[in-house]
Every structure is written in C-alpha cells, then in structure tokens.
Amino acid sequence: MNKKWGLVVIAVFAMAMTSAQTLFTYGSYSTDAKDFLRAFNKNNTVTTANKAKAMRNYLDLYIASRLKIREAYNRGYDTLTQIKNDIDNLRSQIIENYLNDPATSDKLLKEAFQRSQKDIHVAHIFISYKNNVGVVDSAAAQSRAKEVYEKLKKGGDFSSLAQEYSSDATAKTNKGDIGWVTVFTLPYEFENVVYSTLPGKFSSPYRSKIGIHFFKNLGERKAVGKIKVAQILLAFPPNTDDATKKRMASLADSLYQRLLKGDDMAKLASEYSNDYVSAASGGVLPDFGVGQYDPDFEKVVFALSKNGEISKPFLTSHGYHIVKRISAKPVVTDPNNKANMDELKAQVNLSDRMLSARNAVIEKGLKQVAIKRYPYSDKELMMLADSLLDNRPMGSAVSITKTTPLFSVGDQLLTVNDYITYAQAWRFKPDGTGVRPFQQVMDGFVRYKAEEYYRSHLEDFNSDFRYQMNEFKDGNLFFEIMQQEVWGKAQTDTAALEAYYEKNKSRYNWKQSADAVIFFCGDESSAKTLYEKIKKDPAAWKTISDAMGEKVVADSSRYEFEQIPNGSKVPLRAGLVTTPLKNKADGTVSFAYLLKIYPANMPRNYTEAKGLVISDYQNELERQWVAELKKKYPVKIDEKVFQQIAK
C-alpha cells in the first residue's frame, strides 16, 4: 500500500474508533463523541485554524444542555401530556419520509418525467368480477375475459368487443375509447400497463381488485401539456326531450354569435352558464391536462390553436359548450428544470405509486425484525380458529387456548386471540369468493404484525429517524425546563429584577442616543414616496405615515445611534431625516427622523433598562442553576478523546 494513503486510512479508522468512544460523563450518564460531533457540525461553521477553540467553546454549551435535558427527564417532564402529544404529532408527520426508499423515489420521479413527455390514446375493456345482478362470480368473469382475449388474438375488433363484453356502461356508446391520458391520469397499476403497450397493440389481461382489464394503445403524440379556458355550459339531464335540446342548441348558437361580435365571455358565462362554479369566476376553469374531462370536451379544447380563439357550440353528454382558450402551458422537456421536477416530485409523493417506494423500505426493515415462533400445532390452531370464527363447536379437544402464544415480534408477544382478531377482518378473499387458505392468512398476520412493529419501533432501525426524534424531544424538554427554571422566573419575579437592577445600575447606561421615529416600508417605492414627503414636512410625520396605511410602520422611541438606519452614514443630529437603508435579507427599507440627541453614558432608569435587566438576570439564574446541576451530575471529560476529534 502507498505510505501516504496508508496513513490516511489509519487516520480515518482512528477517527471512526474515537467517535464511538465516550467523550464525557455526567453522573452515571455518558455522551459519545459521535453525538457531540453531530451536534457541533450541525450548528457550527468553522475553519481548520479555529476548529479546536470553537469545539471547546461549544463543548461547554453542549454539556450544559445535556445536564438540563437530563434533569428534565429525571423530573418526568417526558411524561407530560403536552410533550407526549407534540412528539406523537411530529412522529406522524415525518415517519412517511423515512419509509420511502430514496433510490426507488428517484426512479419513480424519472419515470414520471419520461411518461409526462407523451400522451397515449387509450381504449379499455373491463370485465367485472360481479355479474349482472351484483353477485361476485370470478369464475364467470375469467371465462368472459378468456373469450375476449382469444378473439383479440385472432384479430377481433377491440371497439366491437368493448361494446359486447365490457362491464363499463359507457362502452356501449364510446366503444371503450376513454380518450387521451398522460402520467398521473390513471391509477398507477393501469398506467404501467398502458405505457408498456405499444401503439396499435393491446395488453394481456390485467387483474385488479374489481375485475379484469384489457387496454389498447390507439396512438401516441407529444404531450400537449396544460390549458386554461373559459366556458359557457348549457347543461341538460340525459332524459331531456328533443324540443328542449333544440332550444338549448339555438341559445348556444346565439351566444356564440354574440361572442364573435365582441360580447364579454365572463359576463355571458355568469349570466347563462349552468356550470355554477366556473360561472362565478367568469367561466374560467383551472388549468388542466388530458384525461381530466370528458374526451369529447377535451378533443375540442385542445384543438384550439391560439389564445382568444372561441370554439363553435359543441355537444357532450353534459350539454352544449362554448369554450374560449385563455392560455396554454407546454409540457416541460428539460429534466434539469427544477421547478417542474419539484412539481412532479410532489405529485409522485402524493400518488399511489409511492407504495412501491414504501414497500422497498419495509421489505428491508422486515429482515431486521426479530420474529420467534413458539411451539404449537397448526392443525389445532385451525380447528380452534374455525370454531371461534364460525361460532361452531369443536370437533375434538385441543391443547391450545386463546392465550396460547404463537410467536413474538421484537418484544411483543402475539397469541391465538391476536390471530383470531386479525382473521376476522382479513380471512375473506377480496373478490368475495370465500375464505383464504389458513397459511395465507397466517402469513399475512405475521407480516402485518412485523410491519406494525417496524413502524412503531423505527427509532431502533433507522439512526437518522432516531436522531431527529430525539433532537425534537430533547428540544421540547429543554424548553420546558428552561421555562420553569430560568425564563419564567426572570419574567415574573419583579422584586428580584428590581433588586438585580439596583445592584448592577452601573451596567445600564445609554450609549450616544436619540429620540427618533423609525419608518419601516415594505418596498423601495413606498419608502421613496414617504421619504420625500417627510423631508419636506418632518413635523407632520404621523399624518403622512398614517395616510400610507399598511405600507408603512412608524415606531417612535429612544434609540442608540447604532440602532438607527442611516443609509448615507452622515453624522446624526436633531431634525435630520436619514437616507433610506434597504434590508438585503427581506427587501424592506427603513429610515429615521431624529427629534433629540443625547450624549453617551446617561443612566437608564429601570423601565428603560428592563429588557436588558431581564436578559442579564436570566443569564445569572442559568449560571447558578448549571453550577448546581454540575454538583448533582459531576462532569468528567476524556481529554484524549476530545483532542483526537478536535484535530
């Protein structure tokens, strides 16, 4: 091995060994170097030159925080209802993030982007497991599906077969044509079938929970993206008579002619449209892509080639429509477009396809869950389960009871009664054709309990999740005990604050200061307008600023010079209106009008000094308390370990 790289490997190995060692103890408790380093690296940005000094300073703060948090635990603050509720709420909010496999999530995102680049024209034949009277008959469904498949393979016309066989009532009229679809239009399981079917080809039978499906790819095109339109809908129910339909058609034509002559679409929509939601906004529909509305509606809408173009009245199953194109948003073709990828990622995370990412994590996790089977007879368990589940007498005596242990998951013991509870809900087949085999139900029970245990004990299996939860919990305990021991006392003990002020009066003197009004403006334009008016008539500052409403906030008080915004850095004097100064962080602008100047070292009275007194008194209380905690939990630092990590 090269000597140089050999030394690097040795150093890295030594650091890894050191980080796993105890850095300090406090009483009977200890903290590893790795936990300290994780906190230090998260909260500090230092150069190599001052790393050791920064680390030493942070160590003092870190030890003090661990002492306070340990005291909170020992007082039982972690059992307080509010603390427990806060922790449970956070856990429920973030756990799904840790149950998604990053590699699978990234794969799904890339897949969604690729699929978003094209639209597919789809036809569909659906064979329901339920027969015409609503009774589940999966055997009959499979027989019908087999007939369809054989006819398709022999060149049978897909649309004719859809009309003849499909359980979807609309297939009688649309011949199975469900229009154009794109990514996220269909449930993920169907989307996968559609996007894996070549143009002009049909899929193999696909079995879902409700039936058997065939899809045909009627054609593909570059994705059309999204469109925004306004519409007038003259709706009528399916059983409307021909005379009424004719009157509707005549009205639609007259409205179309008025639009061509320049009448306002929004006004006519609010007056005539039966789509009351869009009518309230001038007929405007939210942006939409393919597969979201009636295919007949989308066919006309996406054929509009320019903004402002108005369609002739056209008929769908909902009634007569007149549509005006407002804008179009082409599909983004650049995979490096962050805004688009972020939007796709959000859709992926909310879609049913994330189940595959979660399953990938859970499959890995289940391998880490300790499952121990106890001795029992499968035959006796089946007999007892059948008796309890079907409420019938036992055929013969068995040695097991409801309390007999079956297996353990981690530290959780599962009994016959737990199995019975699960089987009551999950023993039946989803298609309603009877019960599952015993072993299938048992396997499902074991997996269900293992997954449940994995989720509820994720801290034991995922160090990042454990760290985030512990960090949040410790933070809540820290806040609670600081409120009890420091902040609350300093805020409410008026006598102690006044006594502290009297004892330390010499600390509380003004630097050079001024009575001033500081104006805070939301933007540069408002600041410029206000500044010019105030400069012309400073005495009328209140009337002027009030007239500008919420754009301006004026705050009058005594300020030290360093607190006063002064864009041009000119010497401060009474009567001066300082040059506006822009805050780079948020874009706000501020300037000041100075009323009176005070020299440095003037004493602050108690009211003027109160904020500073509270802060100093809090620091004093905290210092005294930490000293007491160090007596209760004596601290010992392993300097060898510290020197190693501080290099």
Q: How far apart are CA 438 and CA 382, in angstroms?
A: 7
Residue 593, classed as helix, strand or coil, is strand
If you search the block for the tokens 């601290």, which residue do you land on? 635
Q: How far apart are CA 561 and CA 27, in angstroms?
A: 48
Please choose, from the candidates 522, 540, 637, 628, the residue with its C-alpha nearest in 3D space to the C-alpha of residue 582.
522
Length of the chain, in residues = 647
Mean pLDDT for the stretch of residues 593-615: 96
Q: What pLDDT score does 138 carry?
A: 86
Please choose, from the candidates 628, 173, 105, the residue with its C-alpha nearest in 3D space to the C-alpha of residue 344.
105
Write the Ramachandran bin of 46: left for phi over 0, alpha for psi from -120 to 50, otherwise beta.
beta
Would you tell me how many other CB atoms lie within 10 Å of the CB of residue 533? Answer: 17
Contacts of 544 (CB under 8 A, 6+ apart): 530, 533, 534, 537
H or E segment to which residue 326 belongs? strand 319-329
Q: Where in the chain do CATH 3.10.50.40 domains reside?
A: 118-222, 226-329, 510-602
- In sequence order, what E strands does 182-225 have? 206-207, 211-222
Is 503 buried (19+), middle (13-18) or exposed (0-12) by CB count in 10 A? exposed
The three-point CA angle 279-283-288 to 5° equals: 125
Residue 298, classed as helix, strand or coil, is helix
Please choose, from the candidates 248, 421, 226, the residue with its C-alpha nearest in 3D space to the C-alpha of residue 325.
226
Quick check: 331 pLDDT over 60?
yes
Q: How far apart are CA 220 and CA 118, in angstroms?
A: 7
Q: What pLDDT score does 46 carry?
A: 58
Quick check: 12 pLDDT over 80?
no
Percentage of the chain lying above the pLDDT 90 cut: 80
Q: How far apart are CA 519 and CA 514, in angstroms?
A: 15
CATH annotation of 510-602:
3.10.50.40
Is 455 buried (19+), middle (13-18) or exposed (0-12) by CB count in 10 A? middle
Quick check: 353 pLDDT over 80?
yes
Q: How far apart are CA 165 and CA 124, in angstroms?
A: 11
SS3 track for 538-549: HHHHHHHHHHCH
Q: What pLDDT score does 97 carry?
A: 84
If you search the block for the tokens 């940005």, which residue do you land on? 45
Q: What pLDDT score does 341 carry?
A: 95
If you search the block for the tokens 């602050």, which residue do you land on? 604
Residue 636, classed as helix, strand or coil, is strand
- Alpha carbons within 13 A on the beta-carbon side of 397: 1
| Model confidence pLDDT, tens digit, residues 197-239 | 999 999 999 999 899 999 999 999 999 999 999 999 999 988 8
- pTM, whole model, 2 decimals? 0.66
Residue 329, classed as helix, strand or coil, is strand
Mean pLDDT for the stretch of residues 104-131: 95
The three-point CA angle 265-267-270 to 5° equals: 105
Q: What pLDDT score does 70 carry?
A: 98
Q: How far apart are CA 461 and CA 99, in angstroms?
A: 11
Q: How far apart are CA 107 and CA 55, in angstroms?
A: 40
Alpha-carbon distances of 278 from 60, 225, 227, 269, 556, rounded to whole Å: 63, 21, 15, 8, 49
| Model confidence pLDDT, tens digit, residues 532-585 | 999 999 999 999 999 999 889 999 999 999 999 998 889 999 999 999 999 988
Q: What pLDDT score does 412 carry?
A: 95
Is 70 buried (19+), middle (13-18) or exposed (0-12) by CB count in 10 A? buried
Mean pLDDT for the stretch of residues 68-74: 98
Q: Confirm or reject CATH 3.10.50.40 for domain 226-329, answering yes or no.
A: yes
Supply the DSSP string of 125-182, one letter for each residue: EEEESB-TTS-B-HHHHHHHHHHHHHHHHTT--HHHHHHHH-S-TTHHHHTTEEEEE-
Q: What mean pLDDT value characterizes the chain?
A: 92
Supply the DSSP string of 355-374, one letter for each residue: HHHHHHHHHHHHTTS-EEEP
If you search the block for the tokens 């230092």, which residue do you land on? 46
Q: What pLDDT score does 19 carry?
A: 52
Mean pLDDT for the stretch of residues 260-264: 95
Alpha-carbon distances of 238 from 167, 319, 630, rounded to whole Å: 20, 9, 82
What the block records as the tokens of 543 is: 């009337």
Residue 72, classed as helix, strand or coil, is helix
If you search the block for the tokens 């100093």, which residue do you land on? 616
The pLDDT-based confidence of 14 (bands split at 50, 70, 90) is very low
What class is the 118-222 domain? alpha beta
Please choose, from the candidates 288, 298, 351, 352, the residue with its C-alpha nearest in 3D space to the C-alpha of residue 177.
298
